[in-house]
Structure 1
Amino acid sequence: MIHLDNISKHNGHQILFVEASAALLRGEKVGLVGPNGAGKTTLFRLITGQDQADEGQVSVDRNTTIGYFSQDVGEMEGKSAVAEVMDGAGPVSEIAAELAGLEAALADPGRADEMEALIERYGEVQSRFEELGGYALEGRAREVLDGLSFTQEMMDGDVGNLSGGWKMRVALARILLMRPDVMLLDEPSNHLDIESLIWLEEFLKGYEGALMMTSHDREFMNRIVTKIVEIDGGVLTTYSGDYEFYEGQRAQKEKQQQAQFDRQQAMLAKELRFIERFKARASHAAQVQSRVKTLEKIERVEPPKRRQSVLFEFPSAPRSGEDVATLKGVHKSYGSRSIYDGFDFQVRRRERWCVMGINGAGKSTLLKLIAGASEPDRGTVSIGPSVKMGYFAQHAMDLLDGDLTVFESLEHAFPQAGQGSLRTLAGCFGFSGDDVEKKCRVLSGGEKARLVMAQMLFDPPNFLVLDEPTNHLDLMTKEMLIKALAEYEGAMLFVSHDRHFLAALSNRVLELTPEGVHQYGGGYTEYVERTGQEAPGLRS
């Protein structure tokens, strides 16, 4: 359906693709992977014709419809979320608009003299609308929005009143409703709660068209894709299998290439030693010349490109007391909506609680109460002796000083630290080379999240309160964070929609449901086994 043949592409001085080739075939589900800045979004733009290759050819089969979801959703206002989603449904949405216009014209007394022509046209348009399943369109649009966790009020309210994250869901719903021949999805798993993520998983599994997507959620990728296209160093390499299989294949390939490189280096060193030793002896001149010529002709094996991020090691956190945080008889309401009513909860040393619950269940509210960012209406929240808390919330990213560079921010936070240790810290969190000189105001959401996390973990607290810490992190940074937190000895309370993160780090589960609060010993994996569901909102 889509073929990329020997494409080359420069972006300023940066070379993105060099004679790269790949294909997306009918019905295939492909994961597009590669380090940040490798050119994943550029590849989508080349396929959709928003960008042009410098050399080579991008060909799309005739009459192929493409739906492209990107992180740049544009302006949305003045319509309901349902209307905005229906507008993306291709020809049927245009016919729906004409039908609405004709209905208004038929009700207009000033156009009585056109009535015959209007009625005739209305019949034609209505027939075409029915043929295309137009009357089922609104139902389908609401079904998709419901799957993405919209309430009826949100569906019917002005889309302009929604936050950026919810507008992203509207833009995604437009593509899903459209059901094009090909879907290009750039980070569709961002901004979704776990229930929406699992619903989207099922939707995409049942989608019969071709799919190419990027995602920083490995579990999501593993369950959907059957092929990986990797962008690395300007080259596109295709692997059969899911993300986990790709990781294993890539590691094996890297190991083989390293062994090949080491063997060749040993052989070259041996030959060079012979040349050095005998180059001055006339008796060995012919042998030396022969070996020099042989070496000149040998095709050099390149060492493998290493993409491992630097592992961040926690300095030891000071030990806290056994009781880290205690809530007694906590009541909390927002207007007429009661979130907590006489809630008791305790976090003890070395416990790692993940908090589960649908949107509005009170997950972030609980974290705010414990972090002191919100007060209970009644009841008490107490933090234990010797507890040093680190609180990561999405709004923390807005508190960065836009005029400081990444490195200046770290220096400002840790004036006593040496430059070397701060550069190592920056490198662990994905800031290398000139990246440390970027001003905070120009950082992406992911870069801001990494910087806030670096500041929080360099002088480690013994109690981490984390609200969606992986939201903007790429796969490699996420893996580094999981490995680092696995060694962390303090207490944790966190909310995340990333199932790999939940399974790797939790040893307790707090489930918030309309029927009440449930506590589970054992981590997320045990919770799934016991309840038979990956999230509370999925219970039948």
Structure 2
Amino acid sequence: MIRLDAIAKQHGQQILFLEASATLQRGEKVGLVGPNGAGKSTLFRLITREEQPDEGQVSIDRGVTIGHFSQDVGEMAGRTAVAETMDGAGPVSQVAKELHDLELALADPERADELEALVERFGHVQARFDELGGYALEARAREILAGLGFSPEMMDGDVGALSGGWKMRVALARILLMRPDVMLLDEPSNHLDLESIIWLEEFLKAFQGAILMTSHDREFMNRVVSRIVEIDAGELTSYQGDYDFYERERAIAERHQQAQFDRQQAMLKKELAFIERFKARASHAAQVQSRVKKLDKIEKVEPPKTRKTTVFEFRPAPRSGDDVVKIAGVSKQYGSRKVHDGLDLLVRRGERWCVLGANGAGKSTLLKLVAGAVEPDAGAVAVGASVKMGYFAQHAMELLSPDQTVWDSLQEAFPRASVGSLRSLAGCFGFSGDEIEKRCRVLSGGEKARLVLAHLLYDPPNFLVLDEPTNHLDVGTKEMLVQALAGYQGTMLFVSHDRRFLAALSNRVLELGPEGARAWGGGYSEYVASTGREAPGLRAAAVAR
């Protein structure tokens, strides 16, 4: 369906693609991976013709429809979420508009002389609308929006009143409703909660068209795609399998290439030593000359392009008392909506509670109550003795000083720290080289999140309260964070939609639902095994993988 033949593309001094080739076949589901800035978004723009390759060709089969979901949503206002979703449904939405215009024309007395022609046209358009499934369009739009977490009130409210994250969901719903031949999805799970991610997973697995997508959620990628295309150093390399398979195969290929490189280097060293030793002896002139010619003809093996991840040794957290936080009879209400009603919870030292619940169940509110960011309407939240709390929430990123650089920010926070340890910390969270001189105002959401986490974990508290700490983080940074927190000796209370993060770090589960809170002994993996579902509110089913 889509072919990239020997494409080259350069942005300024940066070479993104160099004689790169790949194909996307009908019905294939492909994950696109590569380091930040490798050219993933550029590849999408080449396919949608927003950009042209400097060399080579992007070929798309005649009649193939493409739906592109990107993080750049644009303005949305003045219509309901349902209407905005239906407007992006491709040909059927255009037919729906004409049908609506014809209905207005038929009701207009000033156009009575056109009545016969209007009625005839209305009949043709109505038949076409029915053929395209137009009368089921609104029901399908509502089903998709519900799957992405929208309540009926949100569906029928002005889309302009929604936050950026919810507008992203509307933009995603438009593409899903469109049902194109090819979906280009740039981080489709970024702004979704766990329930919506799992719903989207099932939708995409059942989708009959082709998919090319990026995602920082490795489990999501594993469930949806059956092939990985990697962008690295201008090349496109295909791996026939899911993300885990790609990682294993890439590691094997790196080891093989390293071994080849080492063998060649040893051989070169030996040959060069012989040449150096005997080059002045006439008796060995022929042998020396022969070896020089041999070395000139050898095709040099390049060392593997390894991606180094820094593992930072975090300091041990100070010991707290046995009871870290006690929540007794807590109630919290926003307007007429009761979020918590008589909630009880005791968090003890060393426990790692993950909080699960459907959208609106009060997960973030619970963390805010524990952190003291909001007060309960009734009941009490008591933090135990010797507890030093660290709280990560999305709003924490707004507290970074926009004029400070990354380096200034870390030095101000830790004035007594050595330059070496701060550079190691910065590198661990993805700020290496000149990136530490970036000002906070130009950082992306993911970069801001990484910087705030670096602040939080350099001198770790003994109680971490984390609200979606993995939002916007790439797979490598998530892995580093999981490794760092796996060795953390303190207590944790956290919300996350990343299933690897949940499974790797939790040893207790608090499920928030309409009937109240329920505590589960054991971590997220035990919860899934016990309930047969990966999130509250979902039907019990055989869980994949």
- Report the TM-score when normalising by structure 2: 0.98
Any idea what SS the aligned residue of 2:5 has?
Answer: strand
Residues 236-247 of structure 1 correspond to what in structure 2 (within 5 A)?
236-247=236-247
What is the aligned partner in structure 1 of residue 452 from structure 2?
Answer: 452
Residue range with higher mean Cα deviation, 287-296 or 402-411: 287-296
**Residue 78 of structure 2 is aligned to residue 78 of structure 1:** yes
What is the aligned partner in structure 2 of residue 462 from structure 1?
Answer: 462
Any idea what SS the aligned residue of 2:537 has?
Answer: helix
Residues 15-94 of structure 1 correspond to what in structure 2 (within 5 A)?
15-94=15-94
Residues 356-375 of structure 1 correspond to what in structure 2 (within 5 A)?
356-375=356-375
Residues 201-280 of structure 1 correspond to what in structure 2 (within 5 A)?
201-280=201-280
CA distance in 2, matches of 1:69, 1:330: 41
Any idea what SS the aligned residue of 2:76 has?
Answer: coil
What is the aligned partner in structure 1 of residue 199 from structure 2?
Answer: 199
Shift of 1:237: 0.3
CA distance in 2, matches of 1:535, 1:520: 13
Residues 113-152 of structure 1 correspond to what in structure 2 (within 5 A)?
113-152=113-152
Asked whether the equivalents of residues 194 and 497 of structure 1 are also in contact (C-alpha less than 8 Å), the reply is yes
CA distance in 2, matches of 1:325, 1:16: 51
Identical aligned pairs, as a percentage?
75
Any idea what SS the aligned residue of 2:145 has?
Answer: helix
What is the aligned partner in structure 1 of residue 476 from structure 2?
Answer: 476
Residues 340-379 of structure 1 correspond to what in structure 2 (within 5 A)?
340-379=340-379
Asked whether the equivalents of residues 429 and 477 of structure 2 are also in contact (C-alpha less than 8 Å), the reply is yes
Asked whether the equivalents of residues 308 and 476 of structure 1 are also in contact (C-alpha less than 8 Å), the reply is no
Shift of 1:270: 1.1
What is the aligned partner in structure 2 of residue 174 from structure 1?
Answer: 174
Shift of 1:277: 1.7
Any idea what SS the aligned residue of 2:401 has?
Answer: coil
What is the aligned partner in structure 1 of residue 155 from structure 2?
Answer: 155
Asked whether the equivalents of residues 9 and 55 of structure 1 are also in contact (C-alpha less than 8 Å), the reply is yes
Residues 90-105 of structure 1 correspond to what in structure 2 (within 5 A)?
90-105=90-105
CA distance in 2, matches of 1:326, 1:223: 38
Q: CA RMSD in A?
A: 1.0
What is the aligned partner in structure 1 of residue 404 from structure 2?
Answer: 404
Any idea what SS the aligned residue of 1:98 has?
Answer: helix
What is the aligned partner in structure 1 of residue 109 from structure 2?
Answer: 109
Any idea what SS the aligned residue of 1:274 has?
Answer: helix
CA distance in 1, matches of 2:108, 2:55: 56
Asked whether the equivalents of residues 7 and 54 of structure 2 are also in contact (C-alpha less than 8 Å), the reply is yes
CA distance in 2, matches of 1:301, 1:504: 38
What is the aligned partner in structure 2 of residue 535 from structure 1?
Answer: 535
Shift of 1:117: 2.7
Shift of 1:280: 2.2
Residue identity in the other structure for 1:373:
A
What is the aligned partner in structure 2 of residue 185 from structure 1?
Answer: 185
Residue identity in the other structure for 1:362:
G
Residue range with higher mean Cα deviation, 328-337 or 522-531: 328-337
**Residue 430 of structure 2 is aligned to residue 442 of structure 1:** no
Shift of 1:412: 1.2
Asked whether the equivalents of residues 508 and 523 of structure 2 are also in contact (C-alpha less than 8 Å), the reply is yes
Residue identity in the other structure for 2:411:
E
What is the aligned partner in structure 2 of residue 310 from structure 1?
Answer: 310
* Superposed CA offset, 1:66-99 (max 9, x none): 0110000111111111111111111111111111
Shift of 1:124: 2.0
Asked whether the equivalents of residues 312 and 481 of structure 1 are also in contact (C-alpha less than 8 Å), the reply is no
Any idea what SS the aligned residue of 1:529 has?
Answer: helix
Asked whether the equivalents of residues 33 and 214 of structure 1 are also in contact (C-alpha less than 8 Å), the reply is yes
Any idea what SS the aligned residue of 1:536 has?
Answer: coil
Residue identity in the other structure for 2:18:
V
What is the aligned partner in structure 2 of residue 510 from structure 1?
Answer: 510
CA distance in 1, matches of 2:297, 2:445: 49
* Superposed CA offset, 1:195-229 (max 9, x none): 11111111111111111100000110001111000
Asked whether the equivalents of residues 330 and 340 of structure 1 are also in contact (C-alpha less than 8 Å), the reply is yes
Residue identity in the other structure for 1:441:
R
* Superposed CA offset, 1:497-537 (max 9, x none): 11111001100000001012110111000000111110002
Any idea what SS the aligned residue of 1:58 has?
Answer: strand
Residue identity in the other structure for 1:199:
W
CA distance in 2, matches of 1:225, 1:463: 37
CA distance in 1, matches of 2:66, 2:342: 52
Shift of 1:102: 1.7
Shift of 1:539: 3.2
Unaligned runs of 5+ in 1: none
Shift of 1:308: 3.0
Residue identity in the other structure for 1:334:
Y
**Residue 525 of structure 2 is aligned to residue 525 of structure 1:** yes
Asked whether the equivalents of residues 340 and 516 of structure 2 are also in contact (C-alpha less than 8 Å), the reply is no
Asked whether the equivalents of residues 343 and 516 of structure 2 are also in contact (C-alpha less than 8 Å), the reply is no
Asked whether the equivalents of residues 8 and 53 of structure 2 are also in contact (C-alpha less than 8 Å), the reply is yes
Residues 282-361 of structure 1 correspond to what in structure 2 (within 5 A)?
282-361=282-361
Shift of 1:108: 2.5
* Superposed CA offset, 1:348-394 (max 9, x none): 11100000001110100000001111111111111111111111100
What is the aligned partner in structure 2 of residue 4 from structure 1?
Answer: 4
CA distance in 2, matches of 1:147, 1:229: 28
* Superposed CA offset, 1:2-24 (max 9, x none): 01111111011111011111110
CA distance in 1, matches of 2:311, 2:211: 33
CA distance in 2, matches of 1:407, 1:6: 40
CA distance in 1, matches of 2:41, 2:492: 35
Asked whether the equivalents of residues 68 and 183 of structure 1 are also in contact (C-alpha less than 8 Å), the reply is yes
Residue range with higher mean Cα deviation, 435-444 or 273-282: 273-282
CA distance in 2, matches of 1:208, 1:454: 42
Residue identity in the other structure for 2:305:
K
CA distance in 1, matches of 2:37, 2:66: 24
What is the number of residues matched between the two proteins?
540
Any idea what SS the aligned residue of 1:318 has?
Answer: coil
Any idea what SS the aligned residue of 1:537 has?
Answer: coil
Any idea what SS the aligned residue of 1:518 has?
Answer: strand
What is the aligned partner in structure 1 of residue 429 from structure 2?
Answer: 429
What is the aligned partner in structure 1 of residue 543 from structure 2?
Answer: none
Asked whether the equivalents of residues 468 and 495 of structure 2 are also in contact (C-alpha less than 8 Å), the reply is yes
What is the aligned partner in structure 1 of residue 495 from structure 2?
Answer: 495
Residue identity in the other structure for 1:381:
V
CA distance in 1, matches of 2:196, 2:137: 21
CA distance in 1, matches of 2:233, 2:537: 42
